[in-house]
A and B are shown apart, each in its own frame.
Chain A
């Protein structure tokens, strides 16, 4: 990892687009990234500076509908932190100031307060894994995240599916796909 300040580092444009793709599809994601960059006055190449990544995600997160849902979820998950080698939350005040020179970015909407049962979370992966493996995987990852059942907040439910999506092999692939469906049903 580069020793440059995290905001001055870059990630590949395809990585940024890939964060949104499970929910929006790659082409649509790329289109939204390009449009947001254009609105921000950011010239997009194959690589995107982290400060611009954060600004683009902020702008998309303020959008209505599925685009906003997808971007807000990217903002709260750890994958972007890993990608840029720093905690996004620690960079945010500075990035907001440097990345939105012309227009203020509306704050993301408050997260939903709805509760989701463990059983319902499991049903997002059960069609591919079967009920028994689905319930077992949800219980295991909830425990690892210290989320106590039988219900979870919408945010914790998304974290459980996100943790499952990091598992190698079939469970990870199924959970990654299910997460996109979950976000559609329970938008933030």
Chain B
């Protein structure tokens, strides 16, 4: 008789140690005695991840504990800021993970370090799914995703998210066990007897005419169409921002991160738009992105209407459920772009509830990211922005 899957979610605020204790109590109560194999926590900068995992690690027993700092946290009940939420999985799964450091300087080495010693197969568990959590301020999200996929093999689905820091763009953190670090990557392998469901969708459309990256270094775009990148971004979005009642000339430094994540870059990639997230303005007018932006890149600045954001979140959940092959969803992990919250504001909670409804009312927990990771067999790119990624468990 296979062990049934049980998933519990919880969200807490207050002093970090007290919030962690509350999470533990609620998760274990909801699991009703089933021992968790995986616990994932998503923590605002107001709930320092290192402190949260230090408190939780001894409490979760033999379960693997993973985490990321966030730009917002949510469960099926709704979203919050300044809080910490958690997802606990119990059932017939085997989960392993590792952490790699010096992600910016040596991404391939960091990936190898995270994977070192992890089993790549478990007898009796035919399905494996990777979870990737990374520090996006290292500026190589796509590269790290593809390096990880290369190491895991071409047939393994991979999901995850880039950590956030409440739009401060200063320090994003990931954790594995009781260890939390920035400039790091965490890679987990979930071995299961049944296939997990993966759904991905975004709802952005072009706003600007085609623009060209004319000078760049790695993930830093210095010039667009021969002019400072920041100037071009302001020029192309001023009118639309004004329609929303935002005067870009009065924007403060603290507001710049949110502004950039609302108007992201869309690369023409066949019939699709590949969205790339600008994260911060440098003093020289260049813009730092969450992954490499080679010179010569042609893109359009994009935006999204609120209704498109709600519809695409639901669609991602529908796609994840469809992959379960008719089995009901026990719950889901969700990696959702912070831009959705910026666009929807108070309506973001309804988008989250919509995802849960599409999953038959199943519990879910997730965080608002600076980049989403989803790579299924056959995909050629795995790092996304402005996207909802849903990993559903049968």
Q: Which residues of A contact B (CB under 8 A)?
A: 21-28, 123-133, 136, 169-171, 173-174, 176-178, 180-181, 184
User: B295-307: contact bitstring with A at CB < 8 Å (1 yes, 0 no)?
Assistant: 0111100000000
Closest to B152 in A: A25
Question: A133 contacts B294, CB within 8 Å?
Answer: yes
Enumerate the 10 nearest inter-chain pairs by beta-carbon distance, A residue then B residue, closest first: A25-B153, A27-B120, A170-B292, A130-B267, A127-B381, A128-B381, A132-B298, A177-B146, A127-B380, A173-B143
**Quick check: is B104 within 8 A (CB to CB) of the other chain?**
no
Which label, helix, strand, loop or mixed, suits the secondary structure of the A interface? Answer: helix
CB-CB contacts below 8 Å: B270-284 with A: 270, 272, 274
CB-CB contacts below 8 Å: B176-197 with A: none
Closest to B276 in A: A130
A110 to B171 CA separation, bound complex (whole angstroms): 53
- Chain B neighbourhood of A174, CB < 8 A: 142-143, 146, 381
**Quick check: is B378 within 8 A (CB to CB) of the other chain?**
yes
Contact of A169 with B268 at beta-carbon distance under 8 Å, contacts A127-B380, A130-B298, A181-B380 already known: no
Q: Which residues of B contact A (CB under 8 A)?
A: 107, 115, 119-121, 140, 142-143, 146-147, 149-154, 156, 212, 218, 267-270, 272, 274, 291-294, 296-299, 378-381, 383
Question: A25 contacts B268, CB within 8 Å?
Answer: no
A163 to B205 CA separation, bound complex (whole angstroms): 34
- Chain A neighbourhood of B292, CB < 8 A: 169-171
- Chain B neighbourhood of A177, CB < 8 A: 146-147, 149-150, 380
- Chain A neighbourhood of B154, CB < 8 A: 23-25, 180-181, 184
Sampled A-B contacts (12; CB under 8 Å)? A26-B151, A27-B119, A28-B120, A127-B272, A127-B380, A128-B142, A128-B269, A130-B267, A130-B298, A174-B381, A180-B150, A181-B378
Closest to A130 in B: B267
Question: B140 contacts A127, CB within 8 Å?
Answer: no
Question: B115 contacts A26, CB within 8 Å?
Answer: yes
Closest to A124 in B: B380
Interchain nearest-CB distance for A127 vs B (Å):
4
Question: B380 contacts A171, CB within 8 Å?
Answer: no
A25 to B39 CA separation, bound complex (whole angstroms): 26
Question: A133 contacts B380, CB within 8 Å?
Answer: no
A173 to B218 CA separation, bound complex (whole angstroms): 12
Which residue in A21, A25, A131, A181 is a CB contact (below 8 Å) of B270? A131
Contact of A130 with B156 at beta-carbon distance under 8 Å, contacts A124-B380, A177-B146, A177-B150 already known: no
- Chain A neighbourhood of B296, CB < 8 A: 132-133, 136
Contact of A127 with B270 at beta-carbon distance under 8 Å, contacts A170-B142, A170-B291, A178-B380 already known: yes
Question: A173 contacts B269, CB within 8 Å?
Answer: no
Interchain nearest-CB distance for B128 vs A (Å):
10
Question: B270 contacts A126, CB within 8 Å?
Answer: yes
Given contacts A27-B153, A130-B299, A131-B270, 13 further A-B contacts (CB under 8 A): A21-B150, A23-B154, A25-B152, A25-B153, A26-B152, A127-B379, A128-B381, A129-B267, A130-B274, A132-B296, A132-B298, A170-B293, A170-B294
Question: B294 contacts A171, CB within 8 Å?
Answer: yes
Question: A128 contacts B274, CB within 8 Å?
Answer: yes
- Chain A neighbourhood of B297, CB < 8 A: 129-130, 132-133
Interchain nearest-CB distance for B370 vs A (Å):
17
- Chain B neighbourhood of A22, CB < 8 A: 150
- Chain B neighbourhood of A128, CB < 8 A: 142, 146, 269, 274, 380-381, 383
A176 to B108 CA separation, bound complex (whole angstroms): 12
Contact of A132 with B268 at beta-carbon distance under 8 Å, contacts A25-B152, A184-B154 already known: yes
Question: A24 contacts B270, CB within 8 Å?
Answer: no
A174 to B380 CA separation, bound complex (whole angstroms): 8
Closest to B375 in A: A177
A173 to B150 CA separation, bound complex (whole angstroms): 9
- Chain A neighbourhood of B299, CB < 8 A: 130
- Chain B neighbourhood of A23, CB < 8 A: 153-154
Question: A176 contacts B150, CB within 8 Å?
Answer: yes
- Chain B neighbourhood of A181, CB < 8 A: 154, 378, 380
Question: A173 contacts B274, CB within 8 Å?
Answer: no
Contact of A131 with B268 at beta-carbon distance under 8 Å, contacts A170-B140, A174-B142 already known: yes
> Which among A24, A27, A130, A132 has the greatest number of chain B C-beta atoms within 10 A?
A130
